[in-house]
Amino acid sequence: MQFNRVLTAFSALTGSIRANNATHPLEIDLEALMQPNAAERAMMGVWVADDGATRLSLLPNGRYGKTLRAGRDIYRGRYEVDGSRLYFEGDTGRTAIGETRRGILTLGDHRFIRPGARSAA
């Protein structure tokens, strides 16, 4: 998520740096690059499985936590957003791909919705 933006910014800058000695130091605002884009902001927050037993929390820092109703953590890791797809990599190395459509996040055989949203059949 953010790492790709940093690499893109560096590659753009290296293409525009002149070979002669620059009189101004190179300044990069890394905080601006680390801000989530609109697609990432739309995915952030809590998602709840249809049966209410599992909660998926997508944090602004690119991390996620998947917990059971009892509050027990079952997975933690990082995620990236690419349009309507989400790519998950757990801290244990497990990977998964999710997809959103009409307010429903499908991840494996789980369907997640926002709390308070009505499930579309």
Per-residue pLDDT tens over the stretch 74-96: 889 999 999 899 999 999 999 99
Lowest mean pLDDT among 14-23, 26-35, 41-50, 82-91: 14-23
Predicted TM-score of the model (pTM): 0.66
Domain boundaries, the chain: 39-113
pLDDT at 17 over 90: no
Lowest mean pLDDT among 6-10, 57-61, 106-110: 6-10
Q: Which CATH architecture has domain 39-113?
A: Beta Barrel (2.40)
pLDDT at res. 96 = 94
3-state secondary structure the chain: CHHHHHHHHHHHHHHHCCCCCCCCCCCCCHHHHCCCCHHHHHHCEEEEECCCCEEEEECCCCEEEEEECCCCEEEEEEEEEECCEEEEEECCCCEEEEEEECCEEEECCEEEECCCCCCCC
pLDDT at res. 34 = 62
